[in-house]
Amino acid sequence: MMATVRFVSWGAIPVGGLVAGALAGPLGARAALLIVAVVSVAGPLVLWFSPVRTERDLAAVG
């Protein structure tokens, strides 16, 4: 289980670097950091307002 978590999280590092570079190139570093901050805050908000928060068994969602 832990190897899977490491594989997914470490595999996301190069993808994040490419996306950050693609954003920072045309928009600039300040705008890219602002976009990352907004997306980082929006992630938990999506879960907070979804039915996942109130479910006790995740198999029931879906």
Whether the pLDDT of residue 53 is over 80: the answer is: no
**For range 44-54, the mean pLDDT:** 85
Whether the pLDDT of residue 2 is over 80: the answer is: yes
Q: Are 20 and 36 in contact (CB under 8 A)?
A: yes
Global pTM? 0.58
**pLDDT at site 36:** 86
Kindly report the backbone phi and psi dihedral angles of residue 19, in degrees, each rounded to the nearest multiple of 5, phi listed first.
-65, -40
> pLDDT tens across 14-42, in order?
998 898 899 999 999 999 989 989 988 99
Whether the pLDDT of residue 60 is over 70: the answer is: no
Q: In total, how many domains does the chain have?
A: 1
Please give the residue range of the domain that contains residue 11.
2-60
